[in-house]
């Protein structure tokens, strides 16, 4: 697939209490000419650790040492002017949609329309069940929460009535700066992701790349909803740092390439950002 948008380059990092802090990181990202900064979230990790880590190893400690992403991103918004700030991802399943709608709209206003809301349903069953979520129906619940938030963002008097989310007419301000609200990017790689994107999302943010036939499946799902893949944001998380591989991902159609950073101190992170900035300059020509 030919690349049609100006490529953007960003980074993603767990903003932990022991790593470089969000404000210093955000300033460094913007100073180096990168375009975006994303933070993931876990509200906590149950001590039982019954759910195995999808990474196949022991769960890294960053998972239970991370800042709340909306607090961290708000601090980043206050010290930057240009870079986009996003959740990568926000565990919508663990949050009240009325509160989350206000948090997202507030961050979008504070950042002057620079917020991107990457979302997911999560993998840790015990974690989400601590929040009262229905694990088996988690994606249905996520969908309702997103649709309810869009109602709040786009209507002076909003209401929503569903299986998991149900509220009568409410007033909630501020409204987002971005028309329609912050873009919703789904972070998932399952066989169901294409229909979900076509149904209620503005972008896709797979980790590592696309599987065989993914672009065709995505295009088909979008066309069934009267939408076009060209209108979608395609963001690659875990982008390769090899020049040739990165060029290959661009040729696949990704318009946002997000490099992963470890949760480490400034002594480690700042040189890594320098190297990424050099790679991006080379890619941009």
**Residues near 40 by Cβ (< 8 Å), separated by ≥ 6?**
12, 14, 66, 69, 87, 88, 89
**Residues near 244 by Cβ (< 8 Å), separated by ≥ 6?**
none
Mean pLDDT over 264-270 rounds to 98
pLDDT for the residue 2: 38
For residue 273, is it within any domain?
yes
pLDDT for the residue 71: 98
pTM for the whole structure: 0.96
Mean pLDDT over 45-66 rounds to 93
pLDDT above 90: residue 99: yes
Q: What is the CATH number of the domain that holds 76?
A: 3.20.20.30
pLDDT above 80: residue 15: yes
pLDDT band at 196, cuts 50/70/90?
Answer: very high
CA-wise closest residue to 279 among 242, 251, 253, 249: 242
pLDDT band at 81, cuts 50/70/90?
Answer: very high
Report how far residue 202's alpha carbon sits from residue 183's, in angstroms, rounded to the nearest whole number.
6
CA-wise closest residue to 18 among 69, 64, 59: 64
Tokens found for residue 268:
């480690």
pLDDT for the residue 5: 76
Q: In 10 A of CB 89, how many CB atoms?
A: 24
For residue 217, is it within any domain?
yes
pLDDT for the residue 210: 81
Mean pLDDT over 203-210 rounds to 90
For residue 239, is it within any domain?
yes
pLDDT above 50: residue 282: yes
Mean of the per-residue pLDDT values for the chain? 95
pLDDT above 50: residue 3: no
Contact 204, 192 (CB under 8 A): no
The strand pairing partners of 87, in sequence order, are 39, 117
Mean pLDDT over 131-138 rounds to 95
pLDDT for the residue 209: 79
User: 85 vs 56, which has greater pLDDT?
Assistant: 85
Domain assignment of residue 154, given as a range: 8-284
pLDDT for the residue 1: 36
Mean pLDDT over 209-218 rounds to 87
pLDDT above 80: residue 255: yes
Contact 106, 160 (CB under 8 A): no
Tokens found for residue 137:
């129906």
pLDDT for the residue 213: 87
User: What's the pLDDT tens digit per position in 104-126?
Assistant: 999 999 999 999 999 999 999 99
For residue 230, is it within any domain?
yes
**Residues near 56 by Cβ (< 8 Å), separated by ≥ 6?**
none
User: What's the pLDDT tens digit per position in 166-191?
Assistant: 999 999 999 999 999 999 999 998 99
Mean pLDDT over 5-23 rounds to 96
For residue 1, is it within any domain?
no
Share of the chain above pLDDT 70, in %: 99
Overall domain count for the chain = 1
């Amino acid at each position: 697939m030919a690349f049609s948008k100006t490529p953007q380059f960003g980074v993603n990092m767990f903003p932990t209490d022991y790593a470089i802090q969000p404000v210093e990181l955000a300033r460094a990202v913007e100073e180096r000419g990168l375009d975006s900064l994303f933070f993931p979230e876990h509200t906590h990790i149950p001590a039982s650790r019954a759910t195995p880590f999808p990474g196949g190893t022991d769960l890294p400690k960053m998972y239970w040492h991370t800042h709340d992403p909306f607090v961290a991103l708000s601090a980043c918004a206050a010290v930057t002017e240009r870079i986009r700030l996003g959740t990568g991802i926000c565990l919508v399943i663990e949050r009240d949609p009325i509160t989350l709608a206000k948090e997202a709209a507030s961050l979008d206003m504070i950042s002057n329309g620079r917020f991107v809301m990457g979302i997911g349903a999560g993998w840790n069953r015990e974690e989400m069940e601590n929040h009262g979520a229905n694990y088996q129906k988690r994606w249905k619940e996520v969908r309702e929460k997103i649709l309810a938030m869009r109602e709040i963002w786009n209507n002076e008097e909003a209401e929503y009535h569903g299986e998991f989310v149900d509220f009568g007419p409410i007033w909630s301000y501020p409204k987002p700066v971005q028309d329609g609200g912050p873009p919703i990017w789904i972070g998932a790689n399952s066989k169901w992701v294409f229909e979900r994107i076509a149904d209620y999302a503005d972008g896709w943010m797979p980790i590592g790349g696309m599987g065989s036939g993914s672009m065709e499946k995505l295009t088909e799902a979008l066309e069934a909803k009267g939408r076009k893949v060209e209108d979608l944001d395609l963001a690659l998380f875990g982008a390769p740092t090899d020049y040739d591989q990165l060029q290959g991902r661009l040729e696949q159609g990704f318009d946002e390439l997000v490099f992963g950073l470890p949760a480490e101190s400034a002594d480690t992170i700042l040189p890594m950002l320098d190297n990424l900035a050099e790679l991006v300059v080379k890619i941009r020509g």
